[in-house]
């Protein structure tokens, strides 16, 4: 069992929890995720690790209530426990594998949208700990949906908040904000964009025009988290990848976002899954291909 040490609401339906998970906190790195179950018969939910504390043996999870399983998770309080937490899963951010001195030469901008703001935070924090500067753009539909702003201000050199309706910060979406920063004289060598698929698609379209290499984090439907089920299949360039074992981060310029959005919608129904299995053939599954 994995005890919940603290719980708070970041918005009306986005919740932040600190959970005891020593084995995970001992080895996780920014970019990785866990799969959690609230109860023995609960659905397995993939969640990015928003933060971790190796000394305390804890991880921080941020999730949005979007269905029955996350609604059950939301009812858990401090002192309650998750049935199980599996992880860390996936590959760490490529930033963790780069030479720190080379990183210090780069001008890095993060684009964080919606709940995707949570997985951006550990990367920015990790860079700060290495002495690497970065800028962060936080996007939300309105002021009430902006999350983790103060946390980012503690670890980032510049934090730009932008809202679609102009109710807080800059007026416009994250792409409008990035373009305006470029117009103001900012230059960037690398972009990491994490958020809804449609946001990442348009962010990548812009960074291609601006010639800023971009990494995105794919968060498609996942079932087993080990590459066997094929739910998180992603087309990256000419290759078939599975977000749970090959990602979740990929070269954004190579990701087929239209296919990913179509596939995510189809995978929600049994008929859609059967159609995908027929269309994708041998590439439908990862792992052994027979589960």
Q: What is the pTM of this model?
A: 0.85
Could you tell me the residue ranges of all domains in the chain? 2-89, 94-217, 219-247+259-291
pLDDT at residue 26 tops 70? yes
pLDDT at residue 244 tops 50? yes
Report the candidate in 29, 201, 50, 174 with the shortest Cα–Cα distance to residue 115.
50
Q: Other C-beta atoms within 10 Å of 83: how many?
A: 13
178-232 per-position pLDDT tens digit: 999 999 999 999 999 998 888 899 999 999 999 999 999 887 555 555 556 666 7
Q: Cα separation of 192 and 62, whole Å?
A: 19
Query: Which residues does residue 112 pair with via DSSP β-bridges, in sequence order?
Result: 138, 194
What's the confidence (pLDDT) of residue 10? Answer: 94
Query: Which residues does residue 239 pair with via DSSP β-bridges, in sequence order?
Result: 236
pLDDT at residue 274 tops 90? no
Structure tokens at 92: 């760490």
pLDDT at residue 289 tops 80? no
Q: What are residue 202's phi and psi, to 5 degrees?
A: -75, -30
94-217: which CATH architecture? 3-Layer(aba) Sandwich (3.40)
Average pLDDT over residues 135-143: 95
CATH of domain 2-89: 2.40.30.10
In this prediction, residue 11 has a pLDDT band, given cuts at 50, 70 and 90, of very high
What's the confidence (pLDDT) of residue 39? Answer: 83
Q: Report CA torsion sign: 249, 255, 261, 265.
A: negative
**Which residue has tokens 């201000």?**
153
């Amino acid at each position: 069992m994995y005890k919940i040490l603290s719980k708070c609401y970041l918005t009306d339906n986005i919740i932040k929890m600190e959970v005891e998970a020593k084995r995970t906190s001992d080895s996780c790195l920014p970019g990785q995720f866990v799969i959690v179950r609230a109860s023995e018969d609960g659905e397995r939910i993939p969640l990015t690790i928003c933060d971790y504390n190796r000394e305390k043996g804890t991880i921080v999870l941020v999730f949005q209530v979007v269905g029955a399983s996350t609604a059950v998770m939301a009812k858990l309080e401090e002192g309650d426990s998750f049935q199980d937490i599996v992880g860390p899963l996936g590959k760490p951010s490529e930033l963790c594998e780069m030479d720190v001195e080379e990183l210090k030469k780069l001008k890095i901008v993060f684009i964080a949208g919606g709940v995707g703001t949570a997985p951006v935070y550990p990367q920015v924090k990790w860079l700060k700990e290495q002495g690497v500067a970065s800028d962060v753009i936080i996007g939300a539909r309105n002021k009430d949906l902006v999350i983790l702003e103060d946390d980012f201000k503690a670890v980032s050199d510049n934090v730009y908040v932008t809202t679609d309706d102009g109710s807080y910060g800059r007026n416009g979406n994250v792409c409008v904000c990035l373009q305006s920063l470029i117009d103001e004289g900012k230059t960037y060598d690398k972009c990491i964009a994490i958020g809804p698929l449609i946001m990442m698609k348009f962010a990548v379209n812009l960074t291609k025009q601006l010639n800023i290499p971009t990494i995105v984090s794919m968060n498609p439907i996942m079932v087993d988290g080990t590459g066997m089920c094929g739910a998180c299949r992603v087309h990256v360039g000419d290759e078939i990848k599975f977000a749970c074992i090959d990602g979740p981060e990929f070269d954004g310029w190579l990701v087929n976002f239209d296919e990913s959005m179509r596939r995510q919608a189809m995978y929600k129904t049994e008929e859609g899954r059967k159609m995908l299995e027929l269309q994708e053939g041998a590439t439908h599954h990862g792992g052994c291909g027979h589960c």
